[in-house]
């Protein structure tokens, strides 16, 4: 089936449903009066010449009036009604209100959507809910025959994906979307919500596998790693890439992607503990590196200050011993316990 038939949407401008309702009721009353008059003419006046045509016309007009009631449609705010006529696309109504269309036209809607509403009604009956709840489920079935154009939120489940480094990670996203072309939503795909769900899962897998979860090599010389985007550190940028890819995939379904946000990013449970230990080790090494750099700088400053102020004159051996002691004091993770020397410095 070619999609060219539905590429151009036909927006209907239907007639007022209230005026049509008044006319149909008036015609129905006239038909009833004609049937009564035809019966009276035949029974009491034996006038079959006028009675039979009056009765037949009344019956035909009454049946036509009952059929005409099928053309009355109600479209609520932020809803669209897609109609077909004898198997062909007839048009789409976006404007909310009470309208009248061709009575032989019927609504096109995803069968799965109505099935969900019917299951809700069946559960309401089985659970012996109140009449108000049953009526609400009936209204849900009627509403399911229309396409909602409201802004909706979809949260997919956690997807286990291998990142760029091959580590299994769990990623989930929040997708904010809405239907902008109701015709494509019901004619080009089977069930647009399920279609969006499947395409979201596929997009998350395609994009997430292109990036590492985090930079685990703390080597300042590798500049490529410093500028590399990661799932943890560049979530906003990666979510924007997911949005662009998802927009292309759901365009044929008449869906507009408003926003995509990463909801959860974490290592898979089987490697979470090991990766946590690795991250902790990297953090400890980085911290020790900064401590050593600072300690060496402080020792150098102390020796220069002692020499500059002529406080004490140390030979190379004593300088080495002093450097060793200062480094132990500055780099130790525990508090140093000094030993006081009351004699000579030698």
Q: Nearest-CA neighbor of 111 among 172, 50, 193?
A: 193
207/237 Cα distance (integer angstroms): 11
Stretches where the chain sits below pLDDT 70 are: 1-7, 44-48, 111-144, 216-227, 271-275, 278, 311-315, 325, 327-346
346 in any annotated domain? no
7 in any annotated domain? yes
200 with 291, same domain?
A: no
Give exposure, 187-208, as e/b (b: 16+ Cβ within 10 Å).
bbbebbbebbeebbbebbeebb
* E strand or H helix that includes residue 13: none
- Tell me the two tokens of residue 263: 């909801």
Answer with the one of 218, 235, 267 that is the final residue of a domain: 267
Looking at residue 41, what is its pLDDT? Answer: 76
81 with 30, same domain?
A: yes
- As a residue count, the chain comes to 346
Looking at residue 228, what is its pLDDT? Answer: 73
262 with 159, same domain?
A: yes
222 with 277, same domain?
A: no
* Radius of gyration from C-alpha coordinates of the chain: 39
Instruction: Count structural domains, the chain.
Output: 4
68 in any annotated domain? yes
Mean residue pLDDT of the chain comes to 78
Looking at residue 341, what is its pLDDT? Answer: 56
318 with 226, same domain?
A: no
Task: Measure CA of the first residue to CA of the last residue in the chain; give whole Å.
Answer: 99
- Tell me the two tokens of residue 236: 């906003």
289 with 209, same domain?
A: no
Answer with the one of 267, 286, 309 that is the final residue of a domain: 267
Residue range 139-185, pLDDT digits in tens: 555 566 788 889 999 888 788 888 887 778 888 889 999 999 988 88
255 with 164, same domain?
A: yes
Answer with the one of 107, 130, 165 that is the final residue of a domain: 107
229 with 297, same domain?
A: no
146/165 Cα distance (integer angstroms): 46
28 in any annotated domain? yes
User: What is the CATH number for 230?
Assistant: 3.30.479.30
51 with 126, same domain?
A: no
pTM for the full model?
A: 0.67
Residue range 241-275, pLDDT digits in tens: 999 999 999 988 899 999 998 888 877 777 666 66
| Domain range for 126 | 119-144
129 in any annotated domain? yes
The alpha carbon torsion through 202, 203, 209, 211 (nearest 10 deg) reads -170
Looking at residue 144, what is its pLDDT? Answer: 64
How many other CB atoms are there within 10 angstroms of residue 222's CB atom?
A: 12
Q: Is the dihedral of CA 254, 257, 263, 269 positive or negative?
A: positive
Asked if 326 contacts 302 with a C-beta cutoff of 8 angstroms, the reply is: yes
344 in any annotated domain? no
136 with 96, same domain?
A: no
- Tell me the two tokens of residue 65: 């009036």
Q: Measuring CA to CA, how many Å separate 303 from each of 221, 289, 309, 317?
A: 31, 21, 10, 13
28 with 76, same domain?
A: yes
261 with 177, same domain?
A: yes
163 in any annotated domain? yes
Percentage of the chain beyond pLDDT 90 is 16
341 in any annotated domain? no
Looking at residue 336, what is its pLDDT? Answer: 62
């Amino acid at each position: 089936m070619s999609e060219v038939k539905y590429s151009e949407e036909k927006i209907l401008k239907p007639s007022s449903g209230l005026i049509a309702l008044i006319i149909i009721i008036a015609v129905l009353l006239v038909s009833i009066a004609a049937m009564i008059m035809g019966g009276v003419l035949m029974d009491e006046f034996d006038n079959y010449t006028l009675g039979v045509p009056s009765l037949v016309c009344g019956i035909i007009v009454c049946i036509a009036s009952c059929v005409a009631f099928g053309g009355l449609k109600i479209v609520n705010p932020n809803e669209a009604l897609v109609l077909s006529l004898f198997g062909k696309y007839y048009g789409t109504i976006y404007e909310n209100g009470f309208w009248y269309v061709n009575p032989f036209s019927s609504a096109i809607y995803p069968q799965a959507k109505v099935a969900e509403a019917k299951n809700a009604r069946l559960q309401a009956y089985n659970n012996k809910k109140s009449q108000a709840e049953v009526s609400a489920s009936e209204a849900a079935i009627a509403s399911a025959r229309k396409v909602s154009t409201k802004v909706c939120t979809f949260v997919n489940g956690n997807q286990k994906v291998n990142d760029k480094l091959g580590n299994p990670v769990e990623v989930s996203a929040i997708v904010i979307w809405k239907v902008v072309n109701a015709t494509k939503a019901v004619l080009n795909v089977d069930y647009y919500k399920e279609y969006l769900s499947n395409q979201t899962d596929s997009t998350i897998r395609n994009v997430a596998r292109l990036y590492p979860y985090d930079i685990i090599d703390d080597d300042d010389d590798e500049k490529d790693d410093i500028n590399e985007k990661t799932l943890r550190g560049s979530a906003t940028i990666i979510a924007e890439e997911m949005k662009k890819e998802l927009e292309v995939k759901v365009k044929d379904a008449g869906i507009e992607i408003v926003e995509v946000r990463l909801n959860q990013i974490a290592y898979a449970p089987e490697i979470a503990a090991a990766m946590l230990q690795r991250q902790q080790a990297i953090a400890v090494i980085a911290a020790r590196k900064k401590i050593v750099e600072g300690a060496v700088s402080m020792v150098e400053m102390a020796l220069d200050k002692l020499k500059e102020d002529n406080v004490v004159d140390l030979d190379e051996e004593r300088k080495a011993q002093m450097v060793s002691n200062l480094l132990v004091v500055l780099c130790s993770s525990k508090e140093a316990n000094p030993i006081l020397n009351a004699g000579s410095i030698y």
